[in-house]
Amino acid sequence: MRTSQVIAGLVLLVVVGFVVFFYYSWTWSEKFLAPVQVGMSKSQVESLVGSPPHTSTNVDAETWDYTRSWSRDARVYFDTNSVVWAVEMD
């Protein structure tokens, strides 16, 4: 094989790899949080998707943030009764 054919093949492989990774990272949050529904308790959410890497709280709610550095937003919002009131997948 010629060197230029090997380089072209490697470049094509890298481009395909980036496309696959971009698609996976774009759809990850929807697939990951799909089983979480409004009205679930914290324990139900934790049993479905595990503990979140980041949490935050304020007076009205608690937010569990499952967002990864390579993914779109993936957050679950709980009200003061520890019940899911919103699931965000931006």
pLDDT of amino acid 33: 83
Question: How buried is 83 (Cβ within 10 angstroms: 0-12 exposed, 13-18 middle, 19+ buried)?
Answer: middle
- Whole-structure pTM value: 0.73
pLDDT of amino acid 1: 65
Q: Can you tell me the distance from the alpha carbon of 76 to that of 87, in angstroms, rounded to the nearest whole number?
A: 5
- DSSP E strand boundaries for 1-90: 54-57, 62-65, 75-78, 84-88
Q: Can you tell me the distance from the alpha carbon of 23 to that of 25, in angstroms, rounded to the nearest whole number?
A: 6
Return the CATH number at 12.
3.30.1450.10
Domain that holds residue 62: 3-88
Structural domain count, the chain = 1
Tens of each residue's pLDDT in the chain, 90 residues: 688 899 999 999 999 999 988 888 777 777 888 889 999 999 999 999 888 989 999 888 899 998 877 777 889 999 989 999 999 887
